[in-house]
Structure 1
């Protein structure tokens, strides 16, 4: 069961949610170390287990028809008993972390932080849970997916009492557009299996090619928003270029050949790690310029 839960949590994506929280909380400062560590661990594993575990449980029918499922990109939970256990553990593992984080905010009257945490958790559940299934509501699917990655950063900022400036909003806006673009491009490769499974997405509604172009535009928009951040933040605009180029390699894709976009998605995964390293360098430069390191 541990192995199943491990793969269901998408280990390759852990850093995508833990890093934004940790970076936001540490650079803002003012929080006790234990709380930053606890929040980082929460957004590293329990948060991802809840997000992707719930997804694998309620997506099992379409996953059975999807050739890329069954490894780092998602578990195939064909056994009903296994699905019940995964769903139970996906919810329970997060409870103690959420209780401590929520208790901290309540004790200090940080209702804004509590609200951000609540929205973040609601987005995790609503994306895949039967009856909500935001992932099947075109455009809301991409916005919800972006919330999964931006909300940990926003939560860290609010929890630490950050001052929200236009530059900070530009950064968060760019991150949000990046998240939407990534979800849209990721859906292109699944156009055919999603349609066969009766699932709706931006890609199934618009078609593969228009979705590729829209994803490229959103990546470009994310880069442009970085120009409105504080130095050396504008340099991050260059980090959007590889994403745009990667997506545009599939600008001529059709619905029939949409599976070819999987090659771009496979490149997207290591690209995130390289980008994360470069973002870290920029954050260190930002902190050094302000005497924070």
Structure 2
């Protein structure tokens, strides 16, 4: 029997929900697919394991104002969950398709590997989930808070997107990640309170350190793609020294607010740096990555307990 005899007639109706192939040859579904899988896919792209870096900073920002919760902060905290993380990582995945295709970490909990056919969906999802919040903030929040929000969003868009693309500029890729600390500035400004600057600057230094440390595991893929990151430029040993210096600075700044928090921060950072110095390879950085991901959870939880206890008993501020 010839191939023509077995092919479906032109214009034949495909059964609803029947798997088809996208341009990459991977199975997908007709437009009648349910919304659930789409939402699940977008959540995966937003890397929920890393939401702690945005929502965690926002919650600590509330606590640093001297209250456990202020309802006026809820819109900002909600924005710092799926919407803003989809902006960070959705834009990143759109512009990093080539390197992600060769990266064995992608397609797992550590990050999505998107298909070209998903780019439009991701772009629309980023706009739909973020623009309403930004309009509300523009109408409801003070100018200082909106300026910090604009800076926050812009840095993360242009971390991945041209023409700036900080990701591909050594040292700028690391320094631009200081923006992860901006919720410690945004939330107080939104509530009409001055930020606790030693805490905000300490978290900025911490974030500058963490970015290249985590990027060491991607040195091979980034170098092959022609992307010169801080990790590619410095190499594993150089990153250990670079990150160690910034983490030490962050501990000094944290000590101005809380010595116990500074000690915990220095202990975890020291463990990461020493282990990478002992075996300075991308493989070592990959083995250390779970501990690096846990770093903000452990240090943040410790900070949160101290703050909540102090606020409850009236010891802070």
Q: Confirm whether residue 210 of structure 1 aligns to residue 238 of structure 2.
A: yes
* Structure 1 counterpart of 2:181, from 138, 150, 166: 150
Contact 1:30 1:160 in 2 (8 A): no
Q: Distance in 2 between matches of 1:48 and 1:262?
A: 22
Provide the residue aligned with 2:144 in structure 1. Answer: 112
Residue 17 of structure 1 pairs with residue 54 of structure 2: yes
1:67 matches 2:104:
yes
| Cα deviations by residue, 1:75-100 (Å, 9 ceiling, x for unpaired) | 111x2221221122123211111211
**Aligned alpha-carbon RMSD (Å):** 2.1
Q: CA deviation at 1:195?
A: 0.4
Structure 1 residue corresponding to 2:303, chosen from 264, 279, 284: 279
Task: Give the one of 272, 275, 293 matched to 1:246.
Answer: 272
User: Partners of 1:50 and 1:175 in 2: how far apart?
Assistant: 21
Instruction: Quote the offset at 1:248 in angstroms.
Output: 1.6
Residue 204 (structure 1) shift: 0.8
1:96 lines up with 2:120 in the alignment: no
Residue 260 in structure 1 maps to residue 284 in structure 2: yes
| Preserved contact between residue 145 and residue 189 of structure 2 (Cα < 8 Å) | yes
* TM-aligned CA deviation for residue 252 of structure 1: 3.9
Q: How far has the Cα of 1:26 moved from its partner?
A: 4.7
Of 75, 81, 84, 2:120 maps to 84
Which residue of structure 1 lines up, in the alignment, with residue 11 of structure 2? none
Q: Name the TM-score, length of structure 2 as normaliser.
A: 0.82
Rg bigger for which structure?
2
Which of 214, 217, 221 pairs up with 1:193? 221
Q: CA deviation at 1:61?
A: 0.4
5+ residue gaps, structure 2, are 1-37
Match of 1:169 in 2: 197
Q: Hey, what's the Cα distance between the residues in 2 that align with 1:136 and 1:100? A: 33
CA distance in 2, matches of 1:29, 1:237: 20
Runs of 4+ aligned structure 1 residues displaced above 3 Å come to: 29-35, 288-293
In the alignment, structure 1 segments of 5+ residues that lack a partner are none
TM-score normalized by structure 1? Answer: 0.88
